[in-house]
Structure 1
Amino acid sequence: MYFTSDNAAPVPPEVMAELARANDGFTRGYGADQATAAAQEMLREVLDAPDAVVHLVTTGTAANALALAAFCPPWGAVFCHSHAHVAEDECGAPEFYTHGAKLVLVGGDHGRMDALALGTALLRTGAGGVHGVQRGMLTLTNVTEAGTVYTAAETAELAGLARAQGLPVHLDGARFANAVMATGATPADLTWRAGVDVLSFGGTKNGLMGVEAVVFFDPARAWEFELRRKRGGHLLSKGRYLGAQMVAMLQDGRWRHWAAQANAMAALLAEGLATRGVVLRHPVQANILFVEWPVGTSARLRAGGAMFYDMPATEGQEGARLVTSWATTEADVAAFLRLI
């Protein structure tokens, strides 16, 4: 009953096996190995983007911050949702790696950016000429921090507003696999076909030990990222161990299966909670739930062995965030619901 985060889940045995295979013998360093090359080609196939350039890093923060830095100048504005991960959970890394770009927060219900609000922010930013920050780029998150998803059409609408102003678009896909399975859209439809220029393709939250891919759909923009990755201390010398993890996840469609399992367990948990009168604060569309229940419920659940994070709640209620993973089972969900 471990629902704190999908980061808390163990690594699937297929990943450990692939790491063991990659560990056999000697190979070139800094990502010039066969495992990394295989992972890059597999991601291009998944995204139906044969010309895309793929680079691997160890953390989502590095993937997001370095991707933003490759597109946005220090005097630029990065438009993001008010509760985006880059705004609330990366300790200023986007501002640091862009050397000072300003995050402009855009509202929207249930973690999704409102198109009208984005349009207004785009018009207002840069209106003061040299005295204010200039429009820089847009970043979206799919799955959002509220556990909701953007459809391909919703992504295209927001990206279209940015591109109309000549701005590039980044997609934080730490849980991109979950978004793909939740929407039923193709990875290409959720990214480059919708106007996304650079994607942070998550691996860690979908079962891997620690690897994220940064995908540039325009190869011309990738070289600066390589320089920034090295300068920022995120070029891993033994890159084969990153490549091997990504290969293990992408082989045989495992990335889809693992994400589908996490989503299915969240849906099962949401259904059970709703029938027990628990309030769901956002639509449950992927593998994250935000709930409110009566005071005392959290202590009872933890006494029974459940793990989760507390969240703000309305008066007289307790709030919690519950996250399922590839390793969550129906037995875990049933046990949690019995405690409720």
Structure 2
Amino acid sequence: MRFFSDNAAAAHPEVMEAILQSNRLDTAYDGDEWSARLDSAFSELFEREVRALWVSTGTAANCLALAALCPPYRGILCHRDAHIEVDEAGAPGFFTGGAKLMLLDGPGAKVTPEIVDEGVRSVRKDVHQVQPAAISITNATEYGLVYRASEVAALGDLARTHGLAMHMDGARFANAIASTGDSPADMTWRAGVDALSFGFVKNGGLNAEALILFKTELADEVAVRRKRAGHLSSKGRMLAAQILALIEGDLWLANARASNAAAQALASAAPGRLVYPVEANEIFLRASPDEALALRAKGFDFYDWGPGEIRFVTSWDQDGDDVAKLAEAIRAL
């Protein structure tokens, strides 16, 4: 009974069917009929003109965006527990050609305008220190907390005050939208976001993520960077087909609601053990080594997360019986 990562979830049957439908001769790379529909499909979703490019990993989506927003000699403000810092093996520096990640603190891997402002002002305005060029936030965060549209807007206002670009790592963007009820537009460009990494693999996709550019003038450069980075797939139609299958009928949102609901069921079983509020599909609990061992002995698979903490992640296809059994086992600890 696996709760260790939504990366391991199955691809949705409609996604698999979409891949099958795209498995025929068409133009290579991104000139096919499916890729050609991405801009209009995402423009409708975000209520304005956007440019959308497929890539095969979230790391590529994040780092291609950051490379377009930050030159090699500048810096990117982010939380010290952000995925781009702790889980991407230096890829942001590789893709940007040397830009520095400038690390900030904040509870639950969230940053606030006050924290960001202090980070900006702590840098001397001279040639001896790296000057920030962008802010990157993760929604939902690595600890399952979400930024509401109003919180993103406050950061966006600050970014404009300091002349900074803004990137959102949305590996679990669907879960954040399902949790807050905010519109995709209000959560992103209306709040000042310039580029979004829109995650699909964790939410029913097979191997496709989307990079959404609200600064559409960056698209041509990002397309070149995508090729140079080795992410221009010759059968890109199969990536585009997956994404379209998830967004055109709001399947992305239904899947996120399902995984969030499973997480809430687990959270209700352990209110006194929660390390963070459960706002998306990740649950962090306080548990002793013996308690973690007892749960594993009953067949549950999850991550240890620091001393005395364990993490569960629910998926769009999580079996309801498994969720009920885990909730019962947590209550019995």
Query: For the superposition of Structure 1 and Structure 2, which TM-score range results when normalised by the shorter chain?
Result: over 0.9
Q: Which amino acid is 1:327 matched to? A: D
Deviations 1:62-102 (A, max 9, x none): 00011100110111110001211001100000011111111
Q: Which stretch of structure 1 is more off in the superposition, 190-199 or 134-143?
A: 134-143
Report the secondary structure of 2:127's partner residue: helix
Query: What whole-Å deviation, never above 9, does each CA across 1:250-302 have from its counterpart, x for those lacking one?
Result: 1321111000000011011100122xx5x111110000011112331111211
Shift of 1:39: 3.2
Q: Does 1:147 align with 2:144?
A: yes
Please name the residue that 2:132 is paired with. 135
Where 2:101 maps in the other structure, the secondary structure is: strand
Q: Which moved more, 1:35-44 or 1:153-162?
A: 35-44
Q: Which structure 2 residues correspond to residues 319-334 of structure 1 after superposition, within 5 A?
A: 319-334=309-324
Q: Deviations over 1:117-144 (max 9, x none)?
A: 110111122x241111112101111001
What SS does the corresponding residue of 1:136 show, helix, strand or coil? strand
Tell whether 2:270 aligns with 1:273: yes
Distance in 1, Cα, partners of 2:168 & 2:75: 16
Q: Distance in 2 between matches of 1:2 and 1:168?
A: 38
Secondary structure (helix, strand or coil) at the match of 2:269 reads helix
Amino acid at match of 1:72: C
1:157 aligns with 2:154: yes
SS at match of 1:80: strand
Q: Which residue of 2 aligns with 1:233?
A: 230
Quick one: which amino acid aligns to residue 21 of structure 1?
Q
Amino acid in the other structure paired with 2:13: P
Equivalent in the alignment of 1:221: 218
* Cα pair 1:268 1:333 within 8 Å, conserved: yes
Please show how residues 157-306 of structure 1 align to structure 2 within 5 Å.
157-274=154-271, 277=272, 279-306=273-300
Report the Cα distance in structure 1 between the residues aligned to 2:51 and 2:17, rounded to whole angstroms: 27
Say if 2:4 and 2:313, in contact at 8 Å, map to a contact too.
yes
Q: Secondary structure at the match of 1:334?
A: helix
Query: Identity of aligned pairs, percent?
Result: 44
Partner of 1:9: 9
Q: TM-score, normalised by structure 1?
A: 0.95
The one-letter code of the counterpart of 1:85 is H
- SS in structure 1 at match of 2:3: coil
Aligned to 1:59: 57
TM-score (norm: length of structure 2): 0.96
2:41 — aligned with what? 42
**1:170-201 deviation line (CA, Å, top 9, x unaligned):** 01001101000101100000000000001111
Q: CA RMSD in A?
A: 1.1
| AA aligned opposite 1:195 | G
Name the SS of the counterpart of 2:211 in structure 1: strand
Deviation (angstroms), 1:41:
2.0
Q: Which structure 2 segments of 5+ residues have no match?
A: none
1:129 partner SS: coil
Q: Whole-Å Cα distance in 1 between the matches of residues 183 and 248 of structure 2?
A: 17
The aligned residue for residue 95 of structure 1 is: 93
2:304 matched residue in structure 1: 310
- 2:120 corresponds in structure 1 to 122
Number of matched pairs: 330
Gaps of 5+ in 1: none
Counterpart of 1:111 in structure 2 is: 109
Query: Does structure 2 conserve the Cα–Cα contact (< 8 Å) formed by 1:177 and 1:256?
Result: yes
Spell out, residue by residue over 1:186-231, the C-alpha distance to the aligned partner (whole angstroms, 9 max, x if none): 0000000000001111111111001111111121111111111111
**What is the identity, as a one-letter code, of the residue corresponding to 1:199?**
L
Asked if 1 retains the 8 angstrom alpha-carbon contact of 2:263 and 2:281, the reply is yes
Post-superposition shift, 1:329? Answer: 3.0
Moved more, 288-297 or 92-101: 288-297
Partner of 2:27: 28
Q: Is the 1:107–1:114 Cα contact (8 Å) retained in structure 2?
A: no
Amino acid at match of 2:249: D
Structure 2: distance between partners of 1:307 and 1:38: 39
Contact 1:138–1:159 (Cα < 8 Å) also in 2: no
Contact 2:269 2:328 in 1 (8 A): no
